[in-house]
Amino acid sequence: MSEEVTKNIIVRDDEDYIINMGPQHPSTHGVLRLEVCLNGETVKYVIPHIGYIHRAIEKMSESDTYKQIIHLTDRMDYLSAHMNNEAVCLAVENALEIEVPKRVQYIRVVLDELTRLASHHLWWSAFGMDLGALTAFFYGMRDREKILAIFEESFGSRLLHSFNTPGGLMHDVHPDFQKHTMEFVRYFRKKLPEYKQLLTDNVIFHNRTQGIGKMSRETAIAFGVTGPSGRGSGFACDVRKVAPYGLYKEIDFNEILYDEGDSFARYLVRMDEMEESLNILEQVTDNIPEGDYTAKMKSIVKLPEGEYFQRVETARGELGIYIVSDGKKFPYRIKFRSPNFSNLFVLNTLAKGGLIADLVAISGSLDLVIPDIDR
Amino acid sequence: MLLDIYSFSTLTASINKDLHAAMTPWLAVATELVLIGLLFLTFYALLGLFLVYLERKVCAVMQNRIGPNRVGKWGVFQTIADLIKLVTKELIPIKNADSFLFNLAPFIVIIASFMAMAALPFAKGLQAIDFNIGIFYIIAVSSLGVVGILIAGWSSNSKYSLIGAMRSGAQVVSYELSVGLSLLAIVVLSGSMQLSTIVESQANGWWIFKGHIPALIAFVIYLIASTAEINRGPFDLAEAESELTAGFHTEYSGIKFAFFFLAEYINMFIVAAIAATLFFGGWMPFHIDHWEAFNRVMDYIPSIVWFFGKTFIIIYLIMWFKWTFPRLRIDQLLNLEWKYLLPLSLMNIVIVSFVVLMGWYF
């Protein structure tokens, strides 16, 4: 074991000064309980306690058809709802060797990137709030609202749209979908400098994040920290590049990598990713071809007996879905490899020896979504 | 002089005369004390409500929102509705808390801010008590509030409260130094600690202009240090809600919480009023030496308008800080004070003394 991994070992003592952060705490972003041991203001160790929002999604999936499972995956990482849906769809499509229409592939990428942007907006807002910059919250929400309006127009719902279905989409997108998406891209290009002014260039913000929660590349790999958090440590783990799916093979985009590994690097990765998402949207949105919105599918999908694995890049990292099928209409077993679960457990390593305020800055920069951890 | 038209001293003198004519001297004095007390209580409550409303509107503007807009026109009665809610709310007793200290703490905090108000010159002739050590008195009583905060955190039997209170203690005690030293610069310039004298000394120009560089440095230091002293963002570590939920007043509910809340806003008013009085001439209109016509025009604006105008501009500035900057960390906060602000303000005292000795101010 490397030194940084052994650093994670916790020695408890009866004399420890413990405070419970959560499950009802503003900066745990959900029902996560952190058992924080303090020495004055210094954090001695952090033990995350999970399970407060466990809904047995994996177990429930065993008695649902593949089309129904999609609606459950929304509820895991609700901010990456579309990518979660897509993971199930891709797994089923690959298992059945179905070629989805080009139009579907294009629309899925547009939705992927819009969802990623909306998720990063929310993260940016909440991260600002964690550090006490309350106004940032409303700036992020203002722009996120525009994306949710596009979703609402096409799917009727704003957050958990369950718009994917094995073989394609539920129905075609709204006729104005392309126009409004491009309007948003142009709008947000203008607004992104405001984010820079408000937080990125702020001296207090630098002091709060630079050098805080340093994670080496080895630690990131050892803990399986993926997504922007892993890429902030120089771990090239973008599934869109490593194992391209859908249309991503044909798109020209950069994988954002920073080597510093501190909270600020993780912050910059996400800021650059927003810009990269805009680039992808510009490439794809105007070129959505005409065609069917779904491939021909049977009304009840049955996977042949066997094991299937599919991974996608959500806004928080690598989501893996592992299906064991016995040939029936329900899966025999489904296992989700959720990114937040791995990202959470590096917290102790990063926060140890820092201050309480650093713990908040670190957990904010890891961008945790609790329902995805518990499932 | 035109200034005398708006002076409150004629009004207060006539009330004093009538009271003395009607009753024995000690009864008249007692009545005056009660009257002033009631006046201050009313003013205190109304000001608190107004500042809360103002903060909500200001922060709404900065955050692309509308702010309160349902209760009354533009939501002006929103804070009154909130007050009614707070007053009628249950006071939750805390298990194993030191109930005497727990109940005492909000009063200490609110009394400290109440006492500081007594010495403020609100307008010409409108000052409850004009000490010859006015500035010293205000600094002294306003720093009493931290005792209440420490007691609140200690007696709550809550770990979050305790951490919040300890942070607040470290913070207020440190920043007190810079506040005192930056005010001392103006005391040196004007040669008096009496607030009325300091205001009078700015009749031919405010100290921020007359005292040029040292006064400007002192003002910037004062603004930073006093924002920290009243536990407001970006220095609101004592109640950093993303770390400590609500800090020292986590366990308080109802009117006891309202006391902390109110005291915080009044403290903001007090520090802004001190800044206005010392650096921007208090109720003194904007005068430029030898520009007689201009000065006369300025004199037409009543002194009370000048005082509250300046104070609220500074309050707006403090609110602007809070809604723009992220919060500092506790070690950074103390570094800022002990490594930067304190040496700078000590140096500034030397500079200002030198400037006064050489007569390099206007």
Q: Do the Cβ atoms of A135 and B240 come within 8 Å? A: no
Q: Give A26 to chain B, closest Cα distance, Å.
A: 6
Average pLDDT across chain A, whole number: 86
CATH number at residue A221: 1.10.645.10
Cα–Cα distance for residue pair B106/B236, rounded to 1 Å? 18
Contact B236 A132 (CB under 8 A): yes
Interface mutation vs chain A, best among B63, B168, B329, B334, most A CBs within 10 Å: B329
Mean pLDDT score, A243-259: 86
Q: Which domain holds residue A274?
A: 57-347
Q: Which residue of B has its CA nearest to A37?
A: B159
Q: Tell me whether residues B59 and A135 touch, CB distance under 8 A.
A: yes
Nearest CA in chain B to A29: B242
Q: Please state, in angstroms and rounded to a whole number, the distance separating the CA atoms of residues B246 and B237.
A: 10
Contacts of B21 (CB under 8 A, 6+ apart): none
Give the angle A242-A321-A258 at the CA atoms, nearest 5°. 35
Q: How far is B46 from chain A (nearest CA, A)?
A: 27
Which tokens is A363 given? 């957990």
pLDDT class for A200, splitting at 50, 70, 90?
Answer: confident
pLDDT at B322: 86
Asked whether B254 and B86 are in contact (CB, 8 A), the reply is yes
What pLDDT does B4 receive?
Answer: 62
Q: Which residues does residue B39 pair with via DSSP β-bridges, in sequence order?
A: none
Mutation for testing the B interface, residue in A18, A28, A38, A41 having most B CBs under 10 Å? A41
CA distance B236 to chain A (A): 9
Looking at the structure of chain A, the number of domains it has is 1
Q: Which residue of A has its CA nearest to B61?
A: A135
Q: What is the pLDDT of residue B280?
A: 86
Mean of the pLDDT values across residues A194-219?
86
* pTM assigned to the model: 0.85
- Among A128, A198, A207, the residue with its CB nearest the CB of B332 is A207
DSSP notation for A301-367: --PPSEEEEEEEEETTEEEEEEEEE-SSSS-SEEEEE-HHHHHHTTHHHHHTTSBHHHHHHHHHHHT
Measure in Å the smallest separation between the Cα of B325 and chain A Cα atoms. 5
Amino acid B6: pLDDT: 67
In a domain, A360, yes or no: no
pLDDT tens readout for residues A180-189: 998 999 999 8
Strands A306-314, A317-325: pairing is antiparallel
Between CA B183 and CA B193, with CA B189 as vertex, the angle to 5 degrees is: 55
- Rounded to the nearest angstrom, the minimum Cα separation between A100 and chain B is 43
Chain B interface includes A27 (CB < 8 A): yes
Is B62–A135 a contact, with Cβ atoms under 8 angstroms apart?
Answer: yes
- The yes-or-no verdict on residue A1 having pLDDT over 60 is no
Q: How far is B4 from chain A (nearest CA, A)?
A: 45
Whether the CB-CB separation of B241 and B78 falls below 8 Å is answered with: no
- Asked, for residue A311, whether it belongs to a domain, the answer is yes
Residue of B nearest to A23 (CA): B245
pLDDT of residue A162: 84
Cβ atoms of A168 and A205 within 8 Å: the answer is no
Q: Is residue A49 part of a domain?
A: no
Radius of gyration in angstroms for the set of CA atoms belonging to chain B, rounded to a whole number: 21
Query: So what's the pLDDT on residue B13?
Result: 78
Q: Is A107 contained in some domain? A: yes
DSSP 8-class letter at B245: T
Q: Name the one residue in this structure whose structure tokens are 């009370």.
A: B304
Residue A202 and residue B325: Cβ atoms within 8 Å?
Answer: yes
Per-residue pLDDT of chain B (362 residues; tens, 9 = 90+): 455 666 777 777 788 788 878 778 888 888 888 888 888 888 888 888 888 898 888 888 888 888 888 888 888 888 888 888 888 888 888 888 788 888 888 888 888 888 888 888 887 777 777 888 888 888 888 888 888 888 888 888 888 888 888 888 888 888 888 888 888 888 888 888 888 888 888 877 787 877 778 888 888 999 998 888 888 878 887 777 667 777 778 888 888 888 888 888 888 898 898 898 888 887 877 777 777 777 777 777 777 888 888 899 999 988 888 888 888 888 888 888 889 989 999 999 888 888 888 877 76
What is residue B73's predicted lDDT score, i.e. its pLDDT?
84
Chain B, nearest residue to A17 by Cα: B159
Distance CA B196, CA B124 (A): 9
- Within 8 A of B241 by CB-CB distance, chain A residues are 26
User: Which residues of chain A are within 8 Å of residue B240 when distances are taken between CB atoms?
Assistant: 132, 357
- Identify the closest residue of chain B to A200 by CA–CA distance: B326
Looking at the predicted structure, is the pLDDT value of residue A148 above 80?
Answer: yes
